[in-house]
Amino acid sequence: MSKEIKIKVCTGTGGMAAGGENVLSLFRNALLSAGIDATFSEKCSVDKVGCRGFCGMDLLVDVIVDGKKITYKYVKPEMVDRIVQEHIIRGNPVVEWMVEDDFYNFHKKQTKVVLSQCGEIDPEDINAYIEVGGYDSLKKVITSMTPEETISVIKNSGLRGRGGAGFPTGLKWEICHRKKSDKKYIICNADEGDPGAFMDRSVLEGNPHSVLEGLTIGAYSIGAEEGYVYIRAEYPLAVNRLRKAIEQSRQKGFIGNDILGKRFNFDIKIKLGAGAFVCGEETALIASIEGKRGMPRARPPFPVDSGLWGKPTVINNVETLANVPYIIKNGAEWFASFGTEKSKGTKVFALTGKVKNNGLIEVPLGITLREIIFDIGGGIEGEKMFKAVQTGGPSGGCIPAEFLDLEVDYESLAQVGSIMGSGGMVVLDETNCMVNTAKFFLEFTQAESCGKCTPCRVGTKRLLEILERITSGNGKEGDIELLEELSYYIKTSSLCGLGMTAPNPVLSTIKYFRDEYEAHIKDRRCPAVVCRDLITYSILEELCTGCGACKRACPADAIRGIRKKTHTIDTSLCIKCGTCFDVCKFKAIMKS
Amino acid sequence: MEESLEKILTNYRNNEGNIITILQDLEETFGYIPEEAVNWFSKRLKIPASRFFGIATFYAQFHLKPRGKNIITVCRGTACHVKGSERLLNRLFIELDIPAGEDTSDDLKFTVEKVNCLGACGIAPVVVFNKEVHGKMTLDKLMRDLKSINTDE
């Protein structure tokens, strides 16, 4: 019988959706009923861990017997018994359920700093974090460093804001530190609104204490006694874990009065966002914490001069703060050894869309898009052609294949018409329509525009109308030029970042995929066969077996035919929902 | 109702609340923001009701009409979009007979909502049935899940 057994079950949002909680308790029960260390003492543990990144293979479970780790993928409740019986009791891992090369390739080119403990430790237990060196950096800072020394380490590391704009973190702290005020605030911006980005959620779910530690070090540096975490209510699990973490941290004396016996007081409150994308903008976020409509205001004054309730305020993103403890621990030079000349360190990206390996990755800045998409991501799903990668969410743009060898950093992405943003990377393949993609983002920004300034409120609406016209086959000659002109004015005259970047998806798709726009306008044709008004569905006689699956599935009763005879689609009834296309096993449904 | 409102008011006073926290408590308690509750708070706190409505209509989280017994949320994030979430959404509206421009069926049994991004892009497309996250959704699976909600009742 083995001496030490550890089982780690992913319970991030992805893991939970794949039944993580259930599998966790099944493992506990199976070990109990097998009579293996019924008490779950130090020698045998079943732990929930946070997101380990590879959400596409959930549920992932690590079984570690005497230090030898085996990872199982797609674990389902009914697989638990066999894993316990064969692997844990008899010592024969279940080979057919183990992860394969793609899992290891996914991790090969990654460098994990922020994510280093995500998926390794129990996020709901502060002791697990302390055991791996957690809160050591806070101790170091408070007991042996002045705020100025702390700021200088962060400055020298070259850390830049990971929320998107890339402002140097140390400099921001320094400016606020120098301000004289009876009160200062520090806010952690966890209003991760970019669709397609989930690094902040994963860090908060997987290692919330690292963020709290970074926030407290920041507070010490600038001289704040009150801090806030402004987090989206759409992330219930992260909120829950953050609450627990703050409570535990307070009990241990890492936040509260006289922290670590020194004369430093700091406490953290949680503020829940109420579902407005614009609140990720710092002045809007402040308005929202103050209980108002989350509308941005003109800057200057910047929040470091006049922020929350008019006091000097620093706002840092989750990932930025999660880097801080590691920089303090390992030194500025260590951090600066990763990355490019102007962009230091590692960055977490959410790699999703049409790639084989979907998930959260952390890579040194300066890595190429090709390495990310093809080496880590494993290439395009279903052996289709790569078309573009969308970075930076609704504020970013689409980068085509010709730039695959681009080294990723803040400046290079901006040069090709996109942005780093918070780190969303959505891969598009040949079956994605670029005009439709631009329309999708404009639907988003138009709905999320707060309405305060006219260029953004009216401009995004007009952009969307033109895109709707084009995708429905009613585009006019000159529409592309109109889009470009309008985009220019919106970019240059909007009040805040939302409006200033909203046209990016339109401009970048026009720049690199003008032919697709032209096909929609001139030929009334959607080359990727996506835009609903421009396609028709039909049934290929030679492939149809008359099985009737499409007929049963059709919600509009638009399919006719008798069993074992070729079926047909009545186009006057067809609502183009695509259900038949999905259910046909014989590929007999054609989109054209 | 009076009793619940008093409780929310106490919470507001004890925890340095603001209009957003009141609205969040109302939404949590009633599932939407009843007009009479807003008027009640407006009188008690001497804050114009328009300020409450201004904030309630600004944030997506607040609803001014009662919502269905079952809430189905379709993620409209980018990853879900490129994997076909729009079709899932359209199908739900047809299947549940939800009038155009509305989000709730007439019998108040179902509400279908969009959410900007749930951050579960690794398992896109994602649909949430009454707070339970379901990943890698297909039209087929959606219909089966819908059926199981219907038969559970």
pLDDT digits (tens), chain B, 153 positions: 899 999 999 999 998 889 999 999 999 999 999 999 999 999 999 999 999 999 999 999 999 999 999 999 999 998 899 888 988 999 899 889 999 889 999 999 999 999 988 888 888 999 999 988 999 999 889 989 998 887 776
Residue A40: predicted pLDDT: 53
Are residues B75 and B50 part of one domain?
Answer: no
Residue A13: predicted pLDDT: 84
Q: Are the beta carbons of A353 and B79 separated by less than 8 Å?
A: yes
Of A84-88, A176-180, A332-336, the least confident: A84-88
- Which whole-number Å values give the CA distances from A206 to A159, A200, B123, in the listed order? 22, 10, 17
Pairing of strands A226-231, A267-272: parallel
Q: Are the beta carbons of B122 and A58 separated by less than 8 Å?
A: yes
Nearest to B82 among A16, A350, A428 (CB): A428
A–B: how many Cβ contacts below 8 A? 161
| E-only strand ranges, A258-396 | 267-272, 313-317, 346-353, 359-364, 386-391
Q: Are the beta carbons of B59 and A54 separated by less than 8 Å?
A: no
Residue of A59, A228, A292 best to disrupt the B interface, most CBs of B under 10 A: A292
Are residues B99 and B42 part of one domain?
Answer: no
Residue A285: predicted pLDDT: 97
Residue B109: predicted pLDDT: 93
Under 8 Å CB-to-CB from A565, ≥6 apart: which residues?
A546
Are residues B45 and B76 part of one domain?
Answer: no
Q: Are the beta carbons of A14 and B115 separated by less than 8 Å?
A: no
Distance of residue A508 Cα from the nearest chain B Cα, in angstroms: 16
Nearest to B121 among A294, A352, A577 (CB): A352
Q: What value does the mean pLDDT take over residues A69-93?
A: 93
Are residues B90 and B52 part of one domain?
Answer: no
Distance of residue A378 Cα from the nearest chain B Cα, in angstroms: 14
Taking contacts as CB-CB distances below 8 angstroms, the residues of chain A near B54 are: 293
If you average pLDDT over every residue of chain A, what do you get? 94
- Which whole-number Å values give the CA distances from A389 to A6, A185, A401, in the listed order? 39, 37, 8
Are residues B46 and B77 part of one domain?
Answer: no
Q: What is the 3-class SS of chain B, one letter each residue?
A: CHHHHHHHHHHHHHCCCCHHHHHHHHHHHHCCCCHHHHHHHHHHHCCCHHHHHHHHCCCCCCCCCCCCCEEEEEECCHHHHHCCHHHHHHHHHHHCCCCCCCCECCCCCEEEEEECCCCCHHHCCCEEECCEEECCCCHHHHHHHHHHHHHHC
Residue A212 pLDDT class (50, 70, 90 cuts): very high
- Confirm whether B52 is domain-assigned: yes
Tokens representing residue A417 in the block = 């018409």
Residue A582: predicted pLDDT: 84
Q: Which domain holds residue B46?
A: 2-56
Taking contacts as CB-CB distances below 8 angstroms, the residues of chain A near B20 are: 274, 288, 291
Cβ–Cβ under 8 Å, residues B75 and B136:
no
Class of domain A126-335: alpha beta
Taking contacts as CB-CB distances below 8 angstroms, the residues of chain A near B80 are: 195
Q: What value does the mean pLDDT take over residues A475-497?
A: 97
Are residues B81 and B51 part of one domain?
Answer: no
Residue A112 pLDDT class (50, 70, 90 cuts): very high
Residues A262-295 as b or e (16 or more Cβ within 10 Å = b): eebebebeebbbbbbbbbbbbbbbbbbbebbbbb
Residue A267: predicted pLDDT: 97
Strand partners, A29: none
Q: Are the beta carbons of A195 and B18 separated by less than 8 Å?
A: no
Q: Are the beta carbons of A276 and B119 separated by less than 8 Å?
A: no
Residue B92: predicted pLDDT: 93
Are residues B138 and B104 part of one domain?
Answer: yes
- Confirm whether B63 is domain-assigned: no
- Confirm whether B64 is domain-assigned: no
Taking contacts as CB-CB distances below 8 angstroms, the residues of chain A near B47 are: none
- Tell me which CATH code domain A536-591 carries: 3.30.70.20
Residue of B12, B58, B96, B147 best to disrupt the A interface, most CBs of A under 10 A: B58
Under 8 Å CB-to-CB from A186, ≥6 apart: which residues?
A215, A218, A219, A222, A224, A226, A227, A228, A313, A314, A315, A316
Architecture of domain A5-99: 3-Layer(aba) Sandwich (3.40)
Taking contacts as CB-CB distances below 8 angstroms, the residues of chain A near B18 are: 290-292
Residue A366: predicted pLDDT: 96
Q: Are the beta carbons of A578 and B83 separated by less than 8 Å?
A: no
Q: How many Cβ atoms are within 10 Å of A342's Cβ, its own excluded?
A: 13
Question: Is B98 in the A-facing interface, judged by CB distances under 8 Å?
Answer: no
State which of B27, B56, B85 marks the end of a domain.
B56
Are residues B90 and B145 part of one domain?
Answer: yes
Q: What is the per-residue DSSP string for A409-477? A: SHHHHHHTT---TT-EEEEEETTS-HHHHHHHHHHHHHHH--SSSHHHHHHHHHHHHHHHHHHTT---T
Residue A1 pLDDT class (50, 70, 90 cuts): low
Q: Are the beta carbons of A555 and B95 separated by less than 8 Å?
A: yes
- Confirm whether B62 is domain-assigned: no
Nearest to B116 among A426, A428, A444 (CB): A444
Q: What is the ipTM of this complex?
A: 0.90
Q: Rounded to an integer, what distance in angstroms lies between the CA atom of residue A58 and that of residue A553?
A: 29
Residue A52 pLDDT class (50, 70, 90 cuts): confident
Nearest to A291 among B20, B116, B140 (CB): B20
Residue of B64, B95, B121, B131 best to disrupt the A interface, most CBs of A under 10 A: B121
Taking contacts as CB-CB distances below 8 angstroms, the residues of chain A near B133 are: 13, 16-17
Q: Are the beta carbons of B120 and A17 separated by less than 8 Å?
A: yes
Taking contacts as CB-CB distances below 8 angstroms, the residues of chain B near A440 are: 78, 81
Residue B119: predicted pLDDT: 84
Q: pLDDT per residue over A235-249, tens digit each?
A: 999 999 999 999 999
Residue of A198, A204, A355, A384 best to disrupt the B interface, most CBs of B under 10 A: A198
3-class SS at A242? Answer: helix
Nearest to A288 among B20, B124, B126 (CB): B20
Nearest to A358 among B76, B87, B122 (CB): B122
Cβ–Cβ under 8 Å, residues A369 and A408:
yes
Q: Rounded to an integer, what distance in angstroms lies between the CA atom of residue A315 and that of residue A197?
A: 19
| Protein fold of A434-522 | de novo design (two linked rop proteins) (1.20.1440)
Q: Are the beta carbons of B60 and A275 separated by less than 8 Å?
A: yes
Under 8 Å CB-to-CB from A133, ≥6 apart: which residues?
A329
CATH number of B106's domain: 3.40.30.10
Are residues B136 and B108 part of one domain?
Answer: yes
Residue carrying the six token digits 């607040």: B62
- Confirm whether B43 is domain-assigned: yes
Taking contacts as CB-CB distances below 8 angstroms, the residues of chain A near B91 are: 555, 577, 579
Q: Are the beta carbons of B91 and A393 separated by less than 8 Å?
A: no
| E-only strand ranges, A250-358 | 267-272, 313-317, 346-353
Are residues B46 and B75 part of one domain?
Answer: no
Q: Closest-CA residue in chain B for A276? A: B59
Better pLDDT: A582 or A114: A114
Residue A276: predicted pLDDT: 93
Q: Are the beta carbons of A360 and B122 separated by less than 8 Å?
A: yes
Helix extents (H) in A207-317: 208-222, 236-251, 282-289
Q: pLDDT per residue over A148-204, tens digit each?
A: 999 999 999 999 999 888 999 999 999 999 999 999 999 999 999 888 899 999 999
Interface of B with A in 107-136 (CB under 8 A): 115-124, 126, 131, 133-135
Q: Where are the domains of chain A?
A: 5-99, 126-335, 346-429, 434-522, 536-591
User: Looking at the 3D structure of chain B, how many domains does it have?
Assistant: 2
Are residues B129 and B99 part of one domain?
Answer: yes
Q: What value does the mean pLDDT take over residues A61-72?
A: 93
Taking contacts as CB-CB distances below 8 angstroms, the residues of chain B near A54 are: 122
Residue A577: predicted pLDDT: 84
Residue A140: predicted pLDDT: 98
Taking contacts as CB-CB distances below 8 angstroms, the residues of chain A near B83 are: 353-354
Are residues B79 and B47 part of one domain?
Answer: no
Asked if pLDDT for residue A491 goes beyond 90, the answer is yes
Q: Are the beta carbons of B79 and A196 separated by less than 8 Å?
A: yes
Residue A375: predicted pLDDT: 96
Class of domain A346-429: alpha beta
Q: Are the beta carbons of B79 and A426 separated by less than 8 Å?
A: yes
Taking contacts as CB-CB distances below 8 angstroms, the residues of chain B near A17 are: 120, 123, 126, 133-135
Interface of B with A in 4-63 (CB under 8 A): 17-21, 23-24, 54-55, 58-62
Q: What value does the mean pLDDT take over residues A199-227?
A: 97
> Which sign does the torsion angle of CA A57, A60, A64, A65 carry?
negative
Q: pLDDT per residue over B92-118, tens digit each?
A: 998 899 998 899 999 999 999 999 888
Residue A4: predicted pLDDT: 84
Q: Are the beta carbons of B18 and A236 separated by less than 8 Å?
A: no
Residue A2: predicted pLDDT: 53
Residue A56 pLDDT class (50, 70, 90 cuts): confident
Residue A41: predicted pLDDT: 55
Q: Closest-CA residue in chain B for A290? A: B18
